Amino acid sequence: MQITIRELTKTFGSTPVLKGVSLEIRSGELFFLLGPSGCGKTTLLRLVAGFYPPDSGDVRFGDRCVNDVPPHLRNTGMVFQSYALWPHMTVAENVAYGLDVRSVPAKERAQRVREALGMVRMEDLADRTPNQLSGGQQQRVALARALVIRPDVLLLDEPLSNLDARLRLEMRDEIRRLHQELKLTTIYVTHDQKEALSLADRMAVLRGGVIEQLADPRTVYRRPSSRFVADFIGESNWLEGEIEEAGDQRLVARTGIGDFEASPRAGVQRGMKVWVGIRPEALDWAEGGTNVIEAELRQTNYLGEIEEYVLAVGEASFKCFVQNPERVLAPGTKLKMRVRPDDLLVLPR
């Protein structure tokens, strides 16, 4: 089911929360709405679910405008952060609920509940009540309950936020597997960039009720459209710069610690004031060549799989990630690091 959202606006009281959002979600896509708290992602999801009417604009499922269709007739399955299971019902009864409401005959109902519990690997716990389940298991039940109605669209609102780190990873794999199996058009709201980067086909980064960037995860991470997006999706070291050269082959940005060469980018002209950004993992050991940074080690933070260096670079403080470090360096060590031209972020200032 393709979802088309056109010029959607929504104001609560005097606060405009969505300011004209347009986007198209492809049939079968795992689409993420991402952004900081209060940017309007849950509101957008709820407008798609039909819990709120829009002030203006429309939501289409396929060719059909669903603005006037109530939530229970949109055939969407929804999963909430809080699981929202009925505590007095068993797992099977919770999952069957949506079928009861739809008056599905008992035999078919039992069959579909088994099938849905099978999808999330919870058949064996069908007779338990939610308080006899772990958080991850409860969220599986919530997923089964959303899937049992055979929805055209699956809506997930921060489904993993209440789980601990290990369970979040496990459920991420589970959601990926289910999506690959079922190919359901899915909208997934989160403020967790790792969740979005690891699962999304495409994502929209929202800021203050507008879409700041809409692209696939690699593009958002490697070619963010603004410093806001770059900072939201990962860490960066930033330098103020100005474009010295903007050719077909390369870009050169002048900064307080020297010139940096970047691969060519559209929309960058000579004289433009820019932010030059370097992701901490893009810094690599250097002998010489282009984009070399001379630094002094201030501090090391050992994190197991990586070591985080805090570097003094001129007046600035840079963060650098070194993977699988083989030796411990003492503070005060002089280092030469480099960044590949294609890894450099160059964004309007």
Binding site for ligand ATP (CB under 6 A): 12, 15, 17, 35, 37-43, 191
Q: How many CB atoms lie within 10 A of CB 77?
A: 24
Q: Rounded to an integer, what distance in angstroms lies between the CA atom of residue 98 and that of residue 78?
A: 11
Minimum CB–partner distance for residue 5 and ligand ATP (Å): 14
CA distances to 85, 112, 145, 211, 321 from 95, in Å? 9, 9, 4, 35, 45
Which residue, 51 or 86, is less far from ligand ATP as judged by CB? 51
Minimum CB–partner distance for residue 193 and ligand ATP (Å): 13
Which residue, 38 or 71, is less far from ligand ATP as judged by CB? 38
Minimum CB–partner distance for residue 156 and ligand ATP (Å): 13
**Cα dihedral value 37, 40, 42, 43, nearest 10:** 150
Q: Rounded to an integer, what distance in angstroms lies between the CA atom of residue 37 and that of residue 206?
A: 10
Q: Rounded to an integer, what distance in angstroms lies between the CA atom of residue 237 and that of residue 323?
A: 18
Which residue, 28 or 36, is less far from ligand ATP as judged by CB? 36
Give SS3 for 29.
Answer: coil
Which residue, 11 or 27, is less far from ligand ATP as judged by CB? 11
Which residue, 12 or 86, is less far from ligand ATP as judged by CB? 12
Please report how many Cα atoms fall inside a 13 Å half-sphere around the Cα of residue 182, on the Cβ side. Answer: 25
CA distances to 84, 316, 333 from 296, in Å? 52, 11, 6
Q: Which residue is nearest to ligand ATP (CB)?
A: 42
Nearest to 325 by CA among 339, 311, 304: 304
Please report how many Cα atoms fall inside a 13 Å half-sphere around the Cα of residue 321, on the Cβ side. Answer: 14
Minimum CB–partner distance for residue 21 and ligand ATP (Å): 11
Which residue, 43 or 76, is less far from ligand ATP as judged by CB? 43
Minimum CB–partner distance for residue 36 and ligand ATP (Å): 7
Which residue, 35 or 277, is less far from ligand ATP as judged by CB? 35
CA distances to 37, 184, 209, 211, 237 from 32, in Å? 15, 14, 15, 12, 26
Which residue, 33 or 133, is less far from ligand ATP as judged by CB? 33
Minimum CB–partner distance for residue 163 and ligand ATP (Å): 16
Minimum CB–partner distance for residue 322 and ligand ATP (Å): 33
Which residue, 189 or 253, is less far from ligand ATP as judged by CB? 189
Minimum CB–partner distance for residue 94 and ligand ATP (Å): 24
Which residue, 142 or 178, is less far from ligand ATP as judged by CB? 142
Q: Which long-range contacts (CB under 8 A, 24 or more apart) does 160-166 make?
A: 160/190, 160/192, 160/195, 161/81, 161/190, 161/192, 162/81, 162/82, 162/83, 162/135, 163/135, 163/136, 163/139, 164/135
Minimum CB–partner distance for residue 98 and ligand ATP (Å): 24
Minimum CB–partner distance for residue 245 and ligand ATP (Å): 40
- Between CA 265 and CA 258, with CA 248 as vertex, the angle to 5 degrees is 70
Residue type at 144? A
